[in-house]
């Protein structure tokens, strides 16, 4: 994923990495939305499975942190690209 391809310049590499980060962020956000929806479904049940809800909430937190970290990385990478490419 991160290895430069033959003949790829530094700017091309950074732009490719930025594109890959955007895709990863979108996938993580989609997964987080699915997990949040499942939590809502479980909570609406007559007898909600609290252990499953708790596990899904932990998963959701991990996904949200991943998105936050990737957004920060993307922002920094875009700054470097705009300054140097």
Tens of pLDDT, residues 8-26? 888 999 999 999 999 999 9
Whether the pTM exceeds 0.85: the reply is no
Residue 24 tokens read as 């990863």
Query: 20-74 pLDDT, tens per residue?
Result: 999 999 999 999 999 999 999 999 999 999 999 999 999 999 999 999 999 999 9
Dihedral sign (CA 72, 75, 80, 85)? positive
Instruction: Please compute, for residue 63, the number of CA atoms within 13 A of its CA located in the half-sphere on the CB side.
Output: 19
Which position has the token pair 């998105």?
67
The span from the CA of 63 to the CA of 60, in Å, is 5
């Amino acid at each position: 994923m991160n290895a430069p391809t033959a003949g790829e310049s530094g700017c091309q590499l950074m732009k490719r990495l930025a594109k890959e980060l955007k895709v990863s962020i979108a996938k993580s956000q989609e997964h987080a939305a699915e997990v949040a929806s499942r939590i809502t479904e479980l909570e609406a049940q007559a007898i909600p499975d609290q252990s499953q809800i708790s596990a899904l909430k932990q998963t959701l937190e991990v996904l949200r942190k991943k998105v936050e970290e990737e957004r920060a990385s993307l922002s920094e990478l875009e700054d470097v690209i705009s300054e140097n490419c």
